[in-house]
Chains A and B, each alone.
Chain A
Amino acid sequence: MKLTYYPGCSLEGTASDYAAGIAGVAGLLGLTLAELPDWNCCGASAAHSLDAEAARALPIRNLRLAQRIGLDVVAPCALCFNRLKAGAKDLEAKGERLSFRVWDLLDLLTQPVFLKRMAARLVTPLTGLQAVCYYGCLVNRPPKITDAPTPENPGNMEKLLQTLGATPLEWSFKTDCCGAGLAVARPDLIDRLVRRLYDRARRAGAECIVVSCQMCQANLDLPQARISRQAGQKYELPVLYFTELIALALGHPEVPRWLARHLVDPRPVLAAKGLLEIPAPQASG
């Protein structure tokens, strides 16, 4: 299966670990991701906050480039996905029909064809791993843009974890906002939102949080030391990409190297479950 791949800016930067994991998983699942030539930034929150015209034009430029290729487009970033979908809806409203579909990477990889492939190739079932799934906002909301069937209570990540042998836990915060867009300008606000997510994840019994967006990942992973200092209690919850869990369960050899690039090291939790053979040496990877 071949799709056009829209990585988005941060996968070339701070989320290059996510990008490496995606490439690894695509290889395992027989998925060819052909990067969209000359793709541009989707404009993110900045454009839709301050310049509605640019917020339409930036993703539409990408959609026009993708239209020349004609393959379905997949985006691993929730915000990029949302902006591309908004651009597609805008074109549709003007009577233009696109010949391809825009996918969120989690939605794509949890289609039955891929879940079946994973189940058939399971090398290390993630037995005993207790995790909460955290979807964040923009792959699901608003449904008139995303076409998400169950925006208040999505379940595709839980289904994926079950397929991989892990134990997804129920919690009520899987689509609550972590405030990532305010992380630079108002870190005080995100500290409050994110701390509540840590507390609720822990209360649910989670040993880790699983995400499908690099904004959520950074916003939950990076401030744990700061929030711990403020709260007077230690938060040390690994925040894993769903792609890393797929790769781990399917026996991809590079997984420990990707995990070493997180701030809260997920390797001890996984090693304690017998899911990683030897904890790799500290963060040189």
Chain B
Amino acid sequence: MAQSAAFALAENLAAAGLAVDGCYQCRKCSNGCPLVFAMDLPPDRVIRLALLGREDELLACRTIWVCSSCETCTTRCPNGIDIAGVMDWLKEQAVARGAAVPEPEVRDFHCAFLGAVKLMGGRLSEPLVLALYALKGGRWLAKLRRSAAAGELATALELLKRRRLPLSPPRRLAGAGEVAGILRRW
């Protein structure tokens, strides 16, 4: 690989305010990460691979999707690297470039969320985001087959009994058009 290609990823990150070249591999990020048990690459390796320009591996990894954005890594990095921000940048690139996402559930939930805000004219309807998410890729049917839906319906019923399930949609904003413009991609 030409040297310039190897550095392109780190440079693109730096241009987005996410410089990674300060990393000296202390692994404080990975040691504090609450979800490292579910990751295929610990956060310090994500930063290392970013420095090495190994973009394809990063866009296809599980880590960026199981990251909960708790910001512990970013808070603790002694070199000021916004590690959680790097995870976000990689997620956005993975979706924009149509990479194979190993955690489609997380991706689809985020897409359903943004779609629901746009549809409702600026605010989120919680039932709508759940409905849009469930409908994606026949997820609802798969769940019914696994009978995982029963527990979720039971929780929904408990919330309904406590008047915590909104039965009317949120107010459509005067600025709905402006918000739809911001969310035009979704």
Contact = CB atoms under 8 A, between A and B. Distances in A.
The prevalent SS among residues of B at the interface is helix
B110 A58 contact: no
* Number of chain A interface residues as a range: 35 or more
A70 interface: no
A54 B162 contact: no
B55 interface: no
Nearest to B92: A50
A50 B110 contact: yes
A40 B162 contact: no
Contact of A45 (B69, B72, B162, B173): B69
A189 B70 contact: no
A58 B88 contact: no
Given A143-B75, A182-B68, A189 B35 contact: yes
Contacts of A13: 124-127, 164-166, 170
A41 B122 contact: yes
Given A46-B110, A185-B108, A177 B164 contact: no
A137 B84 CA distance: 13
Interface in A165-201: 176-177, 179-182, 184-186, 189, 192-193
Identify which of A57, A142, A261, A283 gathers the most chain B CB atoms within 10 Å of its CB: A142
A52 B92 contact: yes
B124 A41 contact: yes
A12 B69 contact: no
Nearest to B162: A261
Contacts of A12: 123, 166, 170
B186 A51 contact: yes
A43 B75 CA distance: 22
Contacts of B21: none
Contacts of A193: 34-35
Contact of B164 (A17, A41, A52, A180): A17
Interface string A199-240: 000000000000000000000001000100000000000000
30 contacts: A9-B126, A10-B126, A12-B123, A14-B165, A14-B166, A17-B164, A38-B173, A40-B117, A40-B173, A41-B123, A45-B110, A46-B109, A46-B110, A49-B88, A49-B110, A50-B111, A51-B185, A54-B182, A58-B179, A137-B68, A137-B71, A138-B71, A141-B70, A143-B75, A176-B34, A181-B68, A181-B69, A261-B164, A263-B158, A283-B161
Given A9-B125, A222-B155, 19 more contacts: A9-B124, A12-B166, A13-B166, A14-B164, A14-B165, A38-B122, A40-B117, A50-B110, A54-B114, A61-B182, A137-B70, A142-B74, A142-B75, A143-B75, A180-B68, A185-B133, A261-B163, A283-B161, A285-B162
Interface of B: 16, 34-35, 37-38, 66, 68-72, 74-75, 82, 84, 88-89, 91-92, 95, 103, 105-111, 113-114, 117, 122-127, 130, 133, 151, 155, 158-159, 161-166, 170, 173-175, 178-179, 182-183, 185-186
